[in-house]
DNA sequence: CGATGTTATGTTATAATGTAACATTATTGA
DNA sequence: TCAATAATGTTACATTATAACATAACATCG
């Protein structure tokens, strides 16, 4: 992350949503609260381990690998067998509360939960920050090509690796 | 693949380039010939193992995992240690002669070699066919967002999973 | 309540994917 | 032909992910 100010107030350095300087504690609270409300409404069980995994993810605007999550789980008194992490991640991604960043084989908490969307990511190769934005898959250029080919799109992975604004400036 | 006709003449069922019924032998020859010319021109070494890996990839309009490639290499008298496959794949992807499909952790031969491009893929979840098309990364919706955020895009992963035309029809 | 079906978790084992590191061989170019 | 570079051979291991089955928690309906 470009500039760390305090553990509570972090500069994130990309625009979409993980953007700009912000009270980062809000991100975590928002993610948890939104997930809680969403699960309650949809009659899904927001269990302790699922909550903890989302908390872990929401603590950073970066993607985190399953085994790193697993380590954090262990530190918090949960078991440390891979299925624990993968099952919680499956639940969170299935319901749009988190996403997998394919390019990194790692996971990130969603910054636009509840909204039906195709996520897209800007991944900084220097500071590892990952910013999420949303797309209408059908309106992308690939959507047009798919339509012309009678290909029925069901999911879209769109991720760009490069340099975020801060790191790009620093690299000059 | 939607309909197999003969080993030489295969219906591929998506439009972009792996499109339509075609003399599939041409795909393989083209891939090899283009790669050979490209390497000669760029003074790169198109070694036997690199050639064989490209041949293996070009035999299918599907993505193939590194270990499946490795097995094919072994059948052809090459060694079967992972680095053999990964090094050849690194060479081929670096020079745009093949691509990695991130969603599948697998590789596919490029159908638009030599042209500088951002590849994009339509992946059929039923028949596993993968069709490649090209994009101008900067002109995608994510390109616009990146520009607004001063994010310097260096690479783009764009992959859609869904149903190809044939499988979509069959699923009705 | 209590039986029962369903969902989630615990646990072991293993599969699949990918890389580091170093030795040897081949090729290039002075 | 020598030295530098690039490619391959080889061993070992790191990382990511899942199968399979047992137990526990929860829901709900009689």
Q: B93-109, pLDDT tens digit by residue?
A: 999 999 999 999 999 99
Interface of B with A (CB under 8 A): 14-16, 19, 102-103, 120, 122, 124-125, 131, 133, 135, 137, 139-143, 145-146, 148-165, 168-169
Min Cα–Cα distance to chain B from A82, Å: 20
Min Cα–Cα distance to chain B from A76, Å: 31
Element (H, E) at B106: strand B106-109
| Residues from chain B contacting residue A141 (CB–CB below 8 Å) | 120, 135, 139-141
3-state secondary structure of A33: helix
pLDDT tens-digit map of B4-61: 333 333 444 345 656 566 778 888 999 999 999 999 999 999 999 999 999 999 999 9
Kindly list the strands in the beta sheet with A9-11, ordered across the sheet, starting from the edge strand earlier in the chain.
A3-4, A9-11, A21-23
| Residues from chain B contacting residue A15 (CB–CB below 8 Å) | 145, 148-151
Burial of B115 (0-12, 13-18, 19+ CB in 10 A): exposed
Task: Check if residue B82 sits with its Cβ under 7 angstroms from strand C.
Answer: yes
- A 10 A CB-CB count for B146 gives 27
Residue written as token pair 């032998």:
B25
What pLDDT is stored for residue A17 in this prediction?
54
Please state, in angstroms and rounded to a whole number, the distance separating the CA atoms of residues A38 and A48: 15
| B1/B84: higher pLDDT | B84
Task: Read off the pLDDT band of B127 (50, 70, 90).
Answer: very high
Task: Read off the pLDDT band of B112 (50, 70, 90).
Answer: confident
Query: Residue B140 CA to nucleotide D14 C1', Å?
Result: 36
Task: Read off the pLDDT band of B67 (50, 70, 90).
Answer: very high
Please state, in angstroms and rounded to a whole number, the distance separating the CA atoms of residues B168 and A152: 7
Please state, in angstroms and rounded to a whole number, the distance separating the CA atoms of residues A18 and A122: 10
Q: Is A100 within 8 Å of A107 (Cβ atoms)?
A: yes
Q: Which two tokens stand for residue A47?
A: 């269990």
ipTM above 0.85, yes or no: yes
Domain region containing B25? 3-171
Q: Is A17 within 8 Å of A131 (Cβ atoms)?
A: yes
Burial of A115 (0-12, 13-18, 19+ CB in 10 A): exposed
pLDDT tens-digit map of A54-98: 999 999 999 999 999 999 999 999 999 999 999 999 999 999 999
- The total number of structural domains that make up chain B: 1
The CATH number of the domain where B138 resides is what? 1.10.10.10
Bridge-based pairing of strands A106-109 and A98-101 is: antiparallel
What pLDDT is stored for residue A153 in this prediction?
97
Residue written as token pair 């967002």:
B145
Interface size between A and B, measured as CB pairs under 8 A: 149
């Amino acid at each position: 992350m470009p500039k760390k100010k305090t553990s509570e107030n972090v500069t994130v350095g990309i625009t979409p949503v993980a953007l700009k300087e912000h009270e980062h504690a809000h991100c975590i609270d928002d993610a948890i609260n939104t997930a809680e409300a969403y699960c309650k409404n949809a009659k899904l069980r927001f269990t302790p381990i699922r909550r903890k995994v989302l908390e872990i993810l929401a603590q950073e605007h970066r993607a985190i690998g399953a085994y790193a999550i697993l380590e954090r789980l262990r530190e918090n008194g949960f078991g440390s067998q891979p299925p624990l992490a993968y099952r919680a991640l499956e639940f969170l991604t299935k319901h749009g509360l988190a996403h997998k960043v394919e390019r990194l084989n790692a996971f990130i908490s969603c910054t636009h939960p509840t909204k039906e969307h195709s996520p897209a990511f800007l991944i900084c190769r220097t500071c590892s920050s990952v910013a999420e934005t949303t797309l209408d898959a059908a309106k992308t250029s690939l959507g047009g090509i798919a339509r012309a080919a009678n290909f029925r799109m069901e999911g879209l992975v769109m991720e760009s690796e490069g340099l975020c604004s801060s790191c790009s400036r620093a690299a000059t």
